Amino acid sequence: MFREHGVVRAVIVALALLPACGSTRNAPAKPAAAPPAPPAATKAAATAAAAKSAAPATSQGAAGTMELAVDATDAPRGLLHSRATIPVRAGPLTLLYPEWIPGEHGPTGPVSDVANLKVSGGGKALAWRRDLQDMYAWHVEVPAGVTSLEVSFDFILPPSAEGFSSGASSTAQLLVLSWNQVVIHPDAPRPDELMVSASLKLPKGWKYATALTTEGQPIRAEVPVAGDAPARFATVSLTTLVDSPVAAGRNVRRVDLTPKAGPPCFLDLVSDSEAALAITNEQAASYRRLVDEALALFGAHHFEHYDFLYTLSDGVAHFGLEHHQSSDDRMAERTFVDEDDWRRAAGLLPHEMVHSWNGKYRRPAGLATGDFTTPMQGDLLWVYEGLTEYLGNVLTARSGLFSPEEYRDNLALIAARLDQQPGRTWRPLQDTADNAQVLYEARSDWESLRRGTDFYDEGELLWLEVDVTIREQTHGAKSLDDFCKAFHGGESGKPSVKPYTFEDLVAALNAVAPYDWKTLLTTRLQSLDPRAPLGGIEHGGWKLVFTDEPGPLKESYDTARKRIDLRYSIGALLDEEGALIDVIAGMPAAQSGLAPGMTLLAVNGRKWSREVLGDAVRATKNGGALELLVANGEFFETHAVKYAGGERFPHLQRDEGKPDLLSAVIGPVVKTP
């Protein structure tokens, strides 16, 4: 999952299930059997964290292939329709809706958007009842002689542009279909063993892209076009289906990124407008270099082909979600034509592609549950997401999506934010990972005091330190690249999962460069030091400094994210409307009594604007006052901010007394003309 500084871009897809030909949803109602009484629980706890009692013996799904038909022709109206035919045996049966979605790291399945649920068997409607402890489960009694159930429901596509699976994934012109939103499946067999034959009906003339194989259409440079009949996909396991979203719309463009000696790779652009698809030759060349650099970094690949499903729209939630053979990437509509949006999105595709190796293939044991019901354990998210954040930004630089200056500026912004975060003194990095499923949903107010999902950004600093340490210990003979080849590489082939533990990680690092890695990692994970771990930057030949001039990314980030970032001067973060998002405890804004939730109205007696506020902060360096009038609910308050430092922006400055290892880290590995 892709996360920007302080903002999680989580998975938020929405789909529904269709009533295909033969559906009983519009047929005359038939008497239903009495609803079955729900057992105390539907599933046995697979881990201590699950804490659920075992359910009574239930009928499991019978052997055979589940048929799933999704009708998305109503997507522009905010509805999807689903209809599944499930092989069963007579007796009590539990049906499940996916709750824990891989990559989301929490119980985010949007079951509240399921509507019009109907179950039938043998031509008769069957009663169902939701489990009283598990809101993602329903109980049905399968009558004697019935060998298959038809389960249909509608999925209400969410309108909100923020959130996890509750966020927007469609507009009048496009749709991103995540199959976990539109499938209800039997409690057994497990998702790896449950085979599904899926079809998708789209508005006529829409094009679509997916890592799934469309029957009768081999992988090619052109994307398929929807006709009157639904597109049918090759039969796969439920695990693979959920791992293979579909991006579709009226405006779709495929860019071939396939390397000379590698697997087919494509960039599939989907947008609300044709103009937004205007990727330049230079931009496309950077993505081709990204693929080359990623394959070189890991030395092998665990996908047969790869698709970046890149949705460009201001009407969908913006984030990235990883899959084995594709990634669901979503950013602003003008990403390829607006310089600020382009800079903001530079690290998205590198991050998600790294996840194919780190997160999908090599996965922490606590996240490799093998189903969508067992609670996940996020204690190693500082590897899953933190190492991906580090490698993703390194590849962003190696591919040319970042210049060396932009890479350093991005790293400086990360380091500076973490280095003045009061929440560091009570919540260690390890707890941000342990508590991830809660922190992903946390509000943004007082985030510096609360700490959010810092296993991304602080994980990047930690893995930079590991990389630099390997280079120091081996006198430049080895680097983290060697670890990646050994730990994530191996033999190229089809998607698979190879779980690991903390002990496996330490052993793999020691195999590359003997060192007390356990102590180093444990110290960083448990630290309550008020300062951020800057060892990787400092031993890499650079140091964090502040000047009154912004770096190459600062203004672009603020413009694209529609915010005013004064965290490095007075210690405040505002949105473009003047609302205070956060203030940092101990810094001038907080000391003056300002707090999140207040709204700025005037600066030194003048109506506020971005420019007026910026001028006033700059003037403090020469003795200027900084008096802020704010609205605190229904009340007005004036706060005199005691500050005399002017504007302050973080940068990395070269330390000439040390070798420049950081430049070696981001130097291209693949030589191109």
7-9 and 2-4 strand pairing: antiparallel
Distance CA 323, CA 291 (A): 16
Q: Are residues 499 and 605 in the same domain?
A: no
Which residue reads 């047929």 in tokens? Answer: 27
Q: What is the pLDDT of residue 36?
A: 59
pLDDT tens across 469-482, in order?
A: 999 999 999 999 99
- The verdict on residue 231 lying in a domain is no
- Strand pairing partners for 119? 126, 151
Token digits of residue 103: 């990559």
Q: What is the pLDDT of residue 553?
A: 94
- The verdict on residue 451 lying in a domain is yes
Q: Are residues 489 and 528 in the same domain?
A: yes
Q: Give the mean model confidence (pLDDT) for residues 295-322.
A: 96
pLDDT band for position 227 (cuts 50, 70, 90): confident
Q: Is the dihedral of CA 483, 486, 487, 489 positive or negative?
A: positive
- The verdict on residue 18 lying in a domain is no
Q: What is the pLDDT of residue 26?
A: 31
- The verdict on residue 423 lying in a domain is yes
Report the percentage of the chain scoring pLDDT > 70. Answer: 90
Q: What is the pLDDT of residue 548?
A: 95
DSSP-based three-state secondary structure for 519 = helix
pLDDT band for position 4 (cuts 50, 70, 90): low
pLDDT band for position 41 (cuts 50, 70, 90): very low
pLDDT tens across 480-528, in order?
A: 999 999 999 999 999 999 999 999 999 999 999 999 999 999 999 999 9
Domain that holds residue 574: 569-647
Question: How many separate domains does the chain show?
Answer: 2
Q: Are residues 583 and 526 in the same domain?
A: no
542-547 and 649-654 strand pairing: antiparallel
How open is the CA angle 371-373-376, to the nearest 5 degrees? 85
pLDDT tens across 414-429, in order?
A: 999 999 999 999 999 9
345-369 burial code (b ≥16 CB/10 A, e <16): bbbbbbbbbbbbbbbbbbbbebbbb
CATH code, domain with 621: 2.30.42.10
Distance CA 656, CA 667 (A): 19
Q: Are residues 530 and 607 in the same domain?
A: no
pLDDT tens across 562-601, in order?
A: 999 999 999 999 999 999 999 999 999 999 999 999 999 9
Within 169-325, strands assigned E span 174-177, 185-186, 195-201, 207-210, 231-232, 236-237, 246-249, 251-256, 265-271, 306-312, 319-322
Q: Are residues 535 and 433 in the same domain?
A: yes
What's the 3-state SS for 336-387? Answer: CCCHHHHHHCCCHHHHHHHCCCECCCEEEHHHCCCCCCCCCCCCCHHHHCHH
Q: Give the mean model confidence (pLDDT) for residues 613-626.
A: 97
Token digits of residue 372: 């969508």
- The verdict on residue 634 lying in a domain is yes
Q: Are residues 400 and 537 in the same domain?
A: yes
Which residue reads 């690249």 in tokens? Answer: 481
Distance CA 484, CA 476 (A): 16
pLDDT tens across 169-192, in order?
A: 999 999 999 999 999 999 999 999
| pTM to 2 decimal places | 0.91
Distance CA 108, CA 372 (A): 10
Show which of 523, 541, 559 is a domain's final residue: 541
Show which of 541, 560, 589 is a domain's final residue: 541
- The verdict on residue 295 lying in a domain is no
Give me the chain's average pLDDT, please.
91
- The verdict on residue 118 lying in a domain is no
Distance CA 96, CA 283 (A): 43
Distance CA 488, CA 303 (A): 13
Burial class of residue 490 (count of CB atoms within 10 Å of its CB; 0-12, 13-18, 19+):
middle
Q: Letter for the amino acid at 668?
A: P
Q: Give the mean model confidence (pLDDT) for residues 393-404.
A: 98
Of 39, 41, 31, 66, nearest to 143 (Cα)?
Answer: 31
- The verdict on residue 617 lying in a domain is yes
CATH code, domain with 537: 1.10.390.10
